[in-house]
Chains A and B, each alone.
Chain A
Amino acid sequence: MRISGYHHCESIPHGQHGFHKQHRSSIDLRIALFITCLADNYFPRSGIAVVKILEYLGHEVIFPRIQTCCGQPMYNNGYRKEACQLARRMIKLFRDCEIVTTPSGSCASLVHDAYPQLFTEGTQDHEAAVGLAKNTYEFVSLLKDVLDVDLTQLGARWEGIATYHYSCHLRHIISQADVERLLNNIEGLEYRQIESADQCCGFGGTFSLHYPDLSGSMVREKVRNIAETGAETLICHDNGCTMNIAGACRRQNVAIRIISPSELFAESLGLLERGAEL
């Protein structure tokens, strides 16, 4: 039997990214996965979790294998032309997909905010960029806003003390309180909030290479605050932040397991085995 967490289809948020309200007759969706270059190579488990959860909920996942990177490093560092080329590629690749999901908040926000303004208004490219922006969802926001997943109802269970790092790029995507609500719906999970939880961890892509002292001082503060929670597991909501925080935890000898929200959800639903170390 397939269990679907998709109850009705009225709940796609309006406004912020110009999402349309959509009405569907079928409850099984075809969802395209944009894995992102970082998750593909460094955090495959977070992507595996996404696939397992979506399939568990009864949806079909498609994965265009020729995908690469959204162009965020180029865009953020001022290489607009190169970013444009990669954006065009992405847009073409996912043109026919009604829903695209990605485990990365920063890549999703690049698609939402930057793609449309990379192209002149009124052009076909621009229209297509706006289209992709509307159809792209960060994975947790997809669960919450589109699929309307109720973890309690699905019997999610995960024993342990966990804390959560809210990534800066999620600001326009999902609120910290919303994610915390999801975490609290998992039975057995004791949630502890990080002091100054909404503070940047200091990653910032190449910022961490340009200003290692600043970035280091920021991440040390973050690690201190994480350690103070006494949690055994950190749910880290962006792979960039994970690289940074995990590296700093190791350097500071703070032993903590770091996983993405998708991994947590998959573990809590029994779809992934718990215990793999970062």
Chain B
Amino acid sequence: MSQDTSSESHSLHLLNPPLPFDMKLRMQQTTENDGSVQRIQNTARTKFAQREKSYTEAFGDRQTDVKTLAGQIKQHTLDHLDQYLEQFIQSATKSGMKVHLARDAAQARKICLNIAQSHGCKCCIKSKSMVTEEIQLLSALESGGIETYETDLGEFIVQLDGDAPSHIVTPVIHKDRESIARTFRQKLGAETTSDPEDLTEVARQYLRNVYRKADLGISGANFLVADTGTIVLCTNEGNGRFVTEVPPVHIVVAGIEKVIPRINDLSLLLKLLARSSTGQPLTVYTSLINGPTQHGDPVSTHEINVILLDNGRSNLLPAPTRSLLRCIRCGACLNACPVFRHAGGGHAYGSVYSGPIGSAITPLMRGVSNYSDLPKASSLCGSCHQVCPVNINLPQQLINLRQEAVTQQIPSRLESLIYRLFALCLRYPFLYRATSYFNKLFTRLGGISTGAHDQFSNRKWVKHAPWLFRHWTTCRDLPTPTSKNFQHWWILRNRGSSS
């Protein structure tokens, strides 16, 4: 479906902002909107709780073991990625699929367009896939004269609105039912209430007609199985099946990290994927596609093309960051992340991959200096690491990226100077004591006393701190040191006991 150009550029801008990306500026826009922060909070929290419950039910106190194992399977694959990719290509080719390699987004778009044009495709349906968002595939097809339709309900709404997904699993986490109903009324001329069932029905009716005329199906893949050449697709709405089975041509776009060694590894990963995303034991539909249907079948997909996409992923292959490629895009770390929830969801991250995993991979894929705001946007609380089904130590990765930023001299001179001076003071006890003393002296100047008499708890509170600390006092008071510090107490006491 064609969008007007202004809304299309809006959605492109959301996921591909001007660089270097300014997260604070973006957050002003994402958090100003009518209660979307609260909605995101609620939905993400619910999903977080559902995940917790289903994990406990399924794995009990062996959760860590399960995650470690899953992490090891993915890590092993990545350690031998060339080998498994080759194996996948061989197996898939043997079962009649065509496999293409794309170095970057432009190349992937071109391959897609060529396939579509060589078959004379006019109408493309697509199931939910973040990687196609990453390479802005649909707008490329549209400009090639092909009509495109999202078939996942969330993505359908996003497309109608000229919006962009704000969560890798729940693309419309930022929208409320009323605004969706409004969109349906305006854009589809449908008479509908904001009842979820009504809304689903409107989309379903609309898409039914589209499915009939579609001649190209595009999907992503959750896993690519090397030993059998199987493409695994997990969906909840059944649209994935239409996309992969109805049109004569099917294109799968998948990142190179999606490969797993054996079909036997699938059971564990599937169990973890659905539970991590939504708390379901399995997604409603799990399709294992083993090649195009044979001639003679009444309904048949004659051709399956798999595009294996790099697009910056191999930047992550060096040992320190390799573990990031284990990600199975379950979205659990997004739901668990307080920053994601308070920042107004995925749009705050300026990339299709948001939340902690987005903060860790986007800078690596698109340049540390372009996205240096993201690694800083974390309190390092570690709940992402705790929930990650493949055990990625995301806080550590964010710290590593901060290190990389320092190495590349991205922080301001002033900032670096302050840290280095501070570190210097901490290396010498007399400087440390002098710093402590002056800190106490100056901060207490502007403070209001609490009136405690005990000199080890007597502190003051500052309402408006100057300079670097002014940001602290935008939302809370700043405590000052107490009149006497611990070192004083220790000295006094020892003096007392020796006399």
Binding site for B on A (CB under 8 A): 35, 37, 39-45, 47-48, 51, 63, 65-69, 71, 73-80, 82-83, 85-86, 89, 168-169, 171, 196, 198-200, 202-221, 243-244, 246-248, 250-251, 276-278
Contacts and interface: CB of A to CB of B under 8 A. Distances in A.
Contacts, number: 199
Contacts of A43: 482
Nearest to A84: B423
Contact of B452 (A209, A243, A276): A276
B24 interface: yes
Contacts of A75: 399
Contact of B471 (A37, A169, A212): A212
Contact of B379 (A48, A213, A215): A215
B53 to A, nearest CB: 15
Interface stretch (B215-223, B284-292, B486-494): B486-494
Nearest to B400: A78
Nearest to B432: A68
A37 B486 contact: no
Contact of A73 (B422, B451, B459): B422
Contacts of A68: 426-427, 429, 432
A257 B381 CA distance: 24
Given A42-B479, A207-B378, A250-B476, A35 B406 contact: no
Interface of B: 24, 27, 31, 37, 45, 338-339, 342-343, 376-383, 386, 399, 401-406, 411, 416, 419-420, 422-423, 426-427, 429, 432, 436, 439-440, 450-452, 454, 456-457, 459, 461, 468-469, 471-472, 474-479, 481-482, 484-490
Contact of A78 (B378, B403, B469): B403
Contacts of B485: 40-41, 44
B383 A168 contact: yes
A149 B45 CA distance: 36
A246 to B, nearest CB: 6
Given A171-B386, A207-B376, A211-B24, 8 more contacts: A35-B486, A43-B482, A79-B403, A79-B416, A213-B31, A214-B342, A215-B379, A277-B451
Contacts of A42: 459, 479, 481-482
Contacts of B338: 199-200, 202, 218
B456 A218 contact: no
A78 B475 contact: no
A111 B463 CA distance: 34
B486 A48 contact: yes
Contact of B475 (A41, A198, A205, A220): A220
